[in-house]
Amino acid sequence: MASRRRLSAGAEIAGIAQYDLKILNPGDIVINVEGAFIVDEDQVDGRLTPPDTRDIALPHHTGKVSHIAVDIGGTLAKVVYFTQNKHGKGGRLNFTKFESSKIDECIDFLVSLIKRNGSNGSETTDSTDNDGSTIQHHIVATGGGSYKFYDRMRGRLGSNVSVSREDEMECLISGLDFFITQIPEEVFCYSESNPMSFPSRPPNKYPCLLVNMGSGVSMLKVLGPRKFVRVGGSSLGGGTLWGLLSLLTDAGSYDEMLEMAATGDNSNVDMLVGDIYGTDYARIGLKASTIASSFGKVFKKAREEPDHSKKQSLFDGGDISRSLLYAISNNIGQIAYLQAQNHQLEHIYFGGSYIRGHPQTMHTLSYAINFWSKGEKTAYFLRHEGYLGAVGAFMQTKPTDWIDGN
């Protein structure tokens, strides 16, 4: 086991021991990430689409992998696990997710993975290796749920499965580093004409700002592959959008809300500069189409309907979805810009399960960064956006002095 400098609790700037291409993992097995690439077998019409669960091939990895990583956030539990190729060397990283509120489904899945193949893809039906010896399995857990559901996981997993917990922020930057340094065509920029353009030369990776958008938002100033400080965050994130839209529209899922937003017209609910001025406010450079107040037209219209239960039907669900999607994305974009400006960071990486490959969301975030920074800062996205923490946990060395406490 490699030695590792541990962090003092609450330390603002965390220094972590040097990073290597071959990473010691919790099963004491070196993951060989050389030549890793995204498997694009579900490529459609010659165009790369960004579903974040696409496999990552690890063609040169040979060792047995007996660990699985899980990142349990406020809303989603993300799982990363390895399957060995049936023929020849190499294997794949697999990505899947569950709702945190259905954590038992997630734990069932972990159990089935362990039972099925000992987590290494070989077709055994119990948790013994091909030579008959018992495999010591390992779950590396991160995110708040690794605390909240620790006892539940431990209770459901057999005695031959150990569970360790890794710090959520450390995993995020470890995962970010893996994606931006090891995986070709993982990082992309968004523009309307080219929704997924890969930077021709990789940008200077550090320092950068990582904006992780889940139920809430965390912003990390990342100085190097294992050195970071959490500079801020926002409680206005995916959980806010999802929560508000579940009351204000009849959409059944988050993706359905995003689909509705695509056809909506926010100007039916937002108060634009033109609604106040009747024209541009040219003096300070605000166009008539600029949103002055999100949802700013709603109160007046709603008041005209005395029956409260009918107020909502005055508004189109798509208009509402688009307005709130803009509001929250713009807001994250502005705060990210201000944080990047304060800390003199040029590159801003947006991760987390908020985006879901949704073009309007990426457009709004990119536009906000470009607008506020006058083109001096760039927004980058990641195809495995939701899995930074989980893949970081998968790649983490096993902590020795921070489990079960502190």
Torsion-angle region of residue 255: left (phi > 0), alpha (psi -120 to 50) or beta? Answer: alpha
- CA distances to 75, 249, 251, 252, 316 from 245, rounded to whole Å, are 15, 5, 8, 10, 12
Which residues inside 208-227 make contact with a copy of itself, applying CB under 8 A? 214-216
- CA distances to 94, 102, 128, 146, 149 from 113, rounded to whole Å, are 12, 17, 13, 18, 19
Q: What is the DSSP letter of 301?
A: H
Site string for a copy of itself, 237-256 (x = CB under 8 A): xxxx-xxx-xxx-x------
Q: Does 85 bind a copy of itself (CB under 8 A)?
A: no
Q: Which of 148, 191, 202, 289 binds a copy of itself (CB under 8 A)?
A: 148
- CA distances to 62, 71, 193, 264, 289 from 100, rounded to whole Å, are 33, 10, 36, 30, 39
Q: Does 330 bind a copy of itself (CB under 8 A)?
A: yes
Using the minimum distance from each CB to a copy of itself, give the nearer residue, 350 or 372: 372
Q: Does 292 bind a copy of itself (CB under 8 A)?
A: yes
Size of the site for a copy of itself (CB under 8 A): 76
Q: Does 235 bind a copy of itself (CB under 8 A)?
A: yes
Q: Does 268 bind a copy of itself (CB under 8 A)?
A: no
Q: Does 87 bind a copy of itself (CB under 8 A)?
A: no
Q: Which stretch, 113-121, 184-192, 273-281, 380-388, contacts a copy of itself (CB under 8 A)?
A: 273-281
Q: Does 392 bind a copy of itself (CB under 8 A)?
A: no
Question: Treating both helix axes as pointing N-terminal to C-terminal, what angle do 359-373 and 317-342 enclose, rounded to 10 degrees?
Answer: 40
Q: Does 44 bind a copy of itself (CB under 8 A)?
A: no
Q: Does 275 bind a copy of itself (CB under 8 A)?
A: yes
Q: Which of 115, 227, 230, 356 binds a copy of itself (CB under 8 A)?
A: 230
Q: How far is the CB of 5 from a copy of itself (least distance, A)?
A: 15
Name 187's bridge partners. 382
Instruction: Give the 3-state secondary structure of residue 162.
Output: strand
Which residues inside 296-315 make contact with a copy of itself, applying CB under 8 A? 296-300, 302-303, 308-309, 311-312, 315
Q: Which amino acid is at 174?
A: S
Q: Does 261 bind a copy of itself (CB under 8 A)?
A: no
Q: How far is the CB of 84 from a copy of itself (least distance, A)?
A: 34
Give the distance from CA 171 to its chain's centroid. Answer: 12
CA Rg, the chain, in Å? 23
Q: Does 145 bind a copy of itself (CB under 8 A)?
A: yes
Q: Which of 21, 39, 262, 282 binds a copy of itself (CB under 8 A)?
A: 282
List strand residue ranges (DSSP E) for 214-340, in order: 217-224, 227-234, 271-272, 291-293
Which residues inside 169-208 make contact with a copy of itself, applying CB under 8 A? 169
**CA angle (50, 187, 46) in 5-degree steps:** 45
Instruction: Give the 3-state secondary structure of residue 191.
Output: coil
Q: How far is the CB of 360 from a copy of itself (least distance, A)?
A: 16
Strand (E) or helix (H) holding 380:
strand 378-382
Q: How far is the CB of 220 from a copy of itself (least distance, A)?
A: 10
Using the minimum distance from each CB to a copy of itself, give the nearer residue, 32 or 100: 100
Q: Which of 111, 182, 236, 399 binds a copy of itself (CB under 8 A)?
A: 236
Instruction: Give the 3-state secondary structure of residue 168.
Output: helix
User: Is residue 401 a contact partner of residue 370, using CB atoms and an 8 Å limit?
Assistant: no
Q: How far is the CB of 194 from a copy of itself (least distance, A)?
A: 28
First to last CA, the chain: 22
Q: How far is the CB of 339 from a copy of itself (least distance, A)?
A: 7
Q: How far is the CB of 218 from a copy of itself (least distance, A)?
A: 9
Q: How far is the CB of 327 from a copy of itself (least distance, A)?
A: 6
In whole angstroms, give the CA distance from residue 62 to residue 88: 9
What is the Cβ-side half-sphere exposure of residue 309, based on CA atoms within 13 angstroms? 0
Q: Which amino acid is at 249?
A: T
Q: Which amino acid is at 319?
A: D
Q: How far is the CB of 4 from a copy of itself (least distance, A)?
A: 16
Which residues inside 335-354 make contact with a copy of itself, applying CB under 8 A? 335, 338-339, 341-342
Q: Which of 47, 201, 283, 374 binds a copy of itself (CB under 8 A)?
A: 283
Q: How far is the CB of 405 from a copy of itself (least distance, A)?
A: 10
